[in-house]
Amino acid sequence: MRQRKKDEFIFGMHPVLEAIDSGKEMEKVLLQQDLKGPQIPKLREQMKLHGIPYQYVPKEKLNRITMKNHQGIIAFPSPITYQNLEQLLPVLYEEGEEPFILVLDRITDVGNFGAIARSAECAGVHAIVVPSRGSAMISAHAVKASAGALYKIPVCREDNLKDSIDFLHNSGLKVIASTEKAEDYCDQANLSGPCALIMGSEEDGISPEYLKRSDVLVKIPMFGEIGSLNVSVATGIILYEVQRQRRNG
């Protein structure tokens, strides 16, 4: 684990609770295994109320982050303010926009996430949707990798991507999935109109339950001997294919 700067995290029960109570956005909270105390119920209640992901970890992991008296709790503030997808989408329609949403399934590398956000902002994506667990932490490093795009493009953190995809579909968006299992290339499929593009991890691709909910499956034509692209590069290609069809449509 790389050495973290002291302003990248908050530790100690009282400081963390105060930060959450004040409305400070949190990326996640790490709790020591078997942590006990009179304030633990309140902490869990506040984390649930604010939709803050948390994880129980060994004390040794907390000690690797800081050797100071962390009291079994370390929180990582978010550099951005998360948006609500169900509130954001109606606003886009009211403003006469054709919604263009990017859904990221298990993109855990911070550098890739930042690069994807940069391409998404440049390609006119209205919002990025990520799961509350199993996604890259939006840190200062992610913001830097995005060239500041994460300050400009809304990010929606959702507890259940399946429900979010259903919501997008029921709201009139065509759900597009990028997968090697597709028969059509991205330039052969109809990607016009309001849409949500799902991109999966390089290791496992898109979860099968999300593929089942997709209206269109597409793949990128490959001409070399290497059979795959970096996920941030692949995302950029398909985002601009969507925009090409919109501009020519």
Are 32 and 72 in a shared domain?
yes
Residue 1 covered by a domain: no
Are 161 and 137 in a shared domain?
yes
More confident residue, 214 or 21: 214
Domains identified in the chain, total number: 2
State which residues form the domain around 160.
85-248
CATH of the domain at 116: 3.40.1280.10
Are 162 and 216 in a shared domain?
yes
Are 119 and 45 in a shared domain?
no
Residue 26 scores a pLDDT above 60: yes
Residue 112 pLDDT level (bands cut at 50, 70, 90): very high
Are 96 and 42 in a shared domain?
no
Domain finish residue from 51, 77, 103: 77
Across the chain, how many H-helices and E-strands are there? 9, 11
| Rounded-to-integer distance, Cα 154 and Cα 135, Å | 16
- Extended beta strands in the chain, E state: 10-11, 26-32, 54-57, 73-77, 100-105, 127-131, 155-158, 174-178, 184-185, 195-200, 216-219
Are 51 and 169 in a shared domain?
no
Per residue in 135-170, pLDDT tens? 998 988 999 999 999 999 999 999 999 999 999 999
Report the candidate in 108, 145, 99 with the shortest Cα–Cα distance to residue 231: 108
- In angstroms, the Cα distances linking 224 to 128, 179, 187, 218, 236 are 30, 18, 18, 19, 19
Per residue in 186-221, pLDDT tens? 999 999 999 999 999 988 899 999 999 999 999 999
